[in-house]
Chains A and B, each alone.
Chain A
Amino acid sequence: MRKVRVVIAKPGLDGHDRGAKVIARALRDAGMEVVYTGLRQTPEQIVSAALQEDADVIGLSILSGAHNHIAPRLMQLLKEKGLDDVLVLVGGIIPDVDIPRLKAIGVKGIFLPGTPMQEIVDFINANARARV
């Protein structure tokens, strides 16, 4: 079986990339293929990276509060490109009230500060699309 392929992306204007980099390394150490997009990626750029990398998982790191704008746009673009089976995760500072909204548009996992890396690894292994 091929390795799970993950795109870790940092959308929006925020540059605080500690979390994105740490999770990228943790997933790589857990045996996944990880691509980190770098900073200030638009949803369009993230979807195109996911297409190019044939990604099974997209992990967004958002701390600035812009998730309500970025996530819906990303989900819509994924649908348009026929990538709706890509597992989308959001990590960062997400107010409780926004969580149901993100889940409703198809974000499968939302990971808040203090989440153990292993929990995210396990979640991906359990939920990423199975591929041969």
Chain B
Amino acid sequence: MKTVAPSGKERWQHDTLEPALKKSPERAAQFTTISGRPIDRLYRPDDVDRIDYARDIGDPGEFPYTRGIHATGYRGKLWTMRQFAGFGTPEETNERYKALLAAGGTGLSVAFDLPTLMGRDPDHELSLGEVGKCGVNVTSLADMETLFDGIRLGDITTSMTINSPAAMIFAMYLVVAEKQGADWKRISGTIQNDILKEFIAQKEYIFPPRPSMRLITDIFGFCSKEAPKWNTISVSGYHIREAGATALQELAFTLRDGLEYVRWGVDTGLDVDAFVPQISFFFNAHSDFFEEIAKYRAARTLWAHAMRDQFGARSERSWKLRFHSQTAGVSLTAQQPYNNVVRTALQALSAVLGGTNSLHTNSLDEALALPTAEAATLALRTQQIIAHESGVANLVDPLGGSYFVEKLTKDMEDGALAYFEQIDKMGGMVEAIERGFPQKEIAESAYRFQQAVERRDKVIVGVNDFVQADEPPIEILYIDESAADTQLAKLETLRKMRNNDAARRALDGLRAAAKTPGNLMPPIIDAVRAYATVGEMCDALRQVWGEYEEVPVI
């Protein structure tokens, strides 16, 4: 009988591990990530022996970009420290922006309130109590002019978290830039403009999926000619994750959404390399450190392959996945809020080690309210400490080659491909959404996680363990009703002062255009110039396309 010499791993298990386990058993029978993925005790060379460095990972700046899209990592340029902010009136938010820029922020990121996000004016009945609460209220071009007053749009980049009415808000930005004398060909920034994740997770949809997709491909077409440096979409996993998805579900659904947008763009006749370089991504930086790093690395690899091999993109710019990340709002606790600073720092570090291109760090008080100015500054300082003190930005992809990280990256890629196959079988992401597939998957994961927390299988410090009685309250930002009053008064003045015939004509033009296949950006820009409001423009389209209503699943 032939005896096989025990491999290194078996020998180690026999000689060293087993005696150690006998002496002191492990803390749990199984260890899992926050997503419930089992993690082995140890990763060794044999875990990665099917991964070929040159073929599957590659060097930084080279296909498939697992180690990053830049050859020099952060040695050339640090990530953009982009803090999401907005509350109350445009005047108040404008002040916060100027303070963030003065504190060393390198880009702006606009948070809009719910009425703006849902295409409702402040005087609509559903806007009651919501104006200026979760972000800044922008009703018309006049508000956009105030929001960026004294900020040169030709010199900074701005990200705007706006989805259903993205075309209207982007049109306002373009007109403000033009009034400041900035060239549309040179201005840069991002609109989120990702409607699929709204249907899947955040639920800020207005129109049904198909006309919503048309608005997006119209923006692709418009920007490829008129605003070539603008990022037309930020395909977002952030909200999918916040809604309860696992890291793998976030990765798979987001990338599959991205592929859906590319498919729709190509189907309208656009050349893939003419619009894909303007697509960027937005991921959650959650708490499970290595799982997150693997997620970002897998995302780049998957995208590069899909663009080159599936869509035949020839430009390297189409192959390179660029992404923004934000630390996980859902991980913040109202209990012992200072713990959130530590959580956020670790999450931000994982995003940096995963090669994020820009980053937002949450503030310690955000489980309670929108952040105070002090809390927002501390969040920015967290990024600056990582960038300038920790040393992690001194080299490219410091974790590349870790047996664990490379194995986990590969597992995430394989898991995402399996989800892609399932969704492809349904006919695509729009069809999968119409069936409620990603929605159900996410609700299931959210419930499973909550049960794990209830059982204390997952510990949340200060919530289900290490609890402290009688915590002193911290000071929070309280947004009263004055923003609503101001915005209502401004709207009334606007409707008196503007040329109402011109506004009506522009809205009629938009309504007519929505019934024909032409690009909708020009009529939307016309309506913006005539000071038509977000609510009026969205109403014009509601009249043509109707509104979406989901069937709730629990």
Interface residues of A (CB under 8 A from B): 12-18, 21-22, 24-26, 28, 34, 36-40, 42, 64-70, 93, 95-97, 112-114, 116-118
Contacts and interface: CB of A to CB of B under 8 A. Distances in A.
Given A12-B130, A65-B479, A97-B478, 7 more contacts: A18-B244, A36-B554, A37-B552, A38-B550, A64-B114, A66-B129, A95-B478
Interface in B166-185: none
Contacts of B454: 116-118
Nearest to B443: A21
Which 4 pairs between the two chains have the least Cβ-Cβ distance?
A: A15-B203, A69-B129, A66-B129, A38-B552
Interface stretch (B120-128, B299-307, B491-499): B120-128
A16 to B, nearest CB: 7
B369 A95 contact: yes
B194 to A, nearest CB: 14
Interface string B326-361: 000010011100000000000000000000000000
Nearest to B134: A64
Which of A14, A40, A68, A117: most chain B Cβ within 10 A? Answer: A14
Contacts of A38: 549-552
Given A68-B129, A118-B454, A18 B202 contact: no
Contacts of B478: 95, 97
Given A18-B243, A21-B443, A95 B368 contact: yes
B447 to A, nearest CB: 5
Interface in B447-473: 447, 450, 453-454, 460, 463-464, 473
18 contacts: A13-B114, A15-B203, A16-B203, A16-B242, A17-B552, A22-B244, A64-B114, A64-B129, A65-B134, A66-B128, A66-B130, A66-B133, A93-B369, A95-B369, A96-B473, A114-B334, A114-B460, A118-B454
Contact of A114 (B128, B204, B333, B550): B333
A38 B551 CA distance: 8
Contacts of A18: 242-244, 330, 446
B367 interface: yes
B476 interface: yes
A21 B446 contact: yes
B96 to A, nearest CB: 17
B168 to A, nearest CB: 17
B344 to A, nearest CB: 16
Interface in B201-222: 202-205
A22 B243 CA distance: 10
B450 A64 contact: no
A65 B130 CA distance: 7
B118 interface: yes
Contacts of B237: none
Contact of B450 (A14, A28, A40, A117): A117
Contacts of A97: 478
B115 interface: yes
A28 B553 CA distance: 13
Nearest to B132: A65
Could you say which of B134, B369, B551, B553 has the most chain A C-beta atoms within 10 Å of its C-beta? B134
A13 B202 contact: no
Contacts of B552: 17, 21, 36-39
B129 A39 contact: no
Contacts of A22: 244, 446-447, 450
Contacts of A24: 554
Contacts of B479: 65
A95 B372 CA distance: 14
Contacts of B550: 38-39
Contacts of B133: 64-66
A39 B333 contact: no
Interface in B48-102: none
A40 B205 CA distance: 11
A95 B476 contact: yes
A80 to B, nearest CB: 18
A65 B447 contact: no
Nearest to A15: B203
A114 B118 CA distance: 28
A13 B120 contact: yes
A97 B369 CA distance: 12
Contact of B126 (A15, A21, A40): A40
A12 B367 CA distance: 19
A15 B120 contact: no
B422 to A, nearest CB: 22
Contacts of B367: 93, 113-114
B336 to A, nearest CB: 10
Contacts of A14: 114, 130, 134
Interface in B186-210: 198, 202-205
Contacts of A26: 447, 450
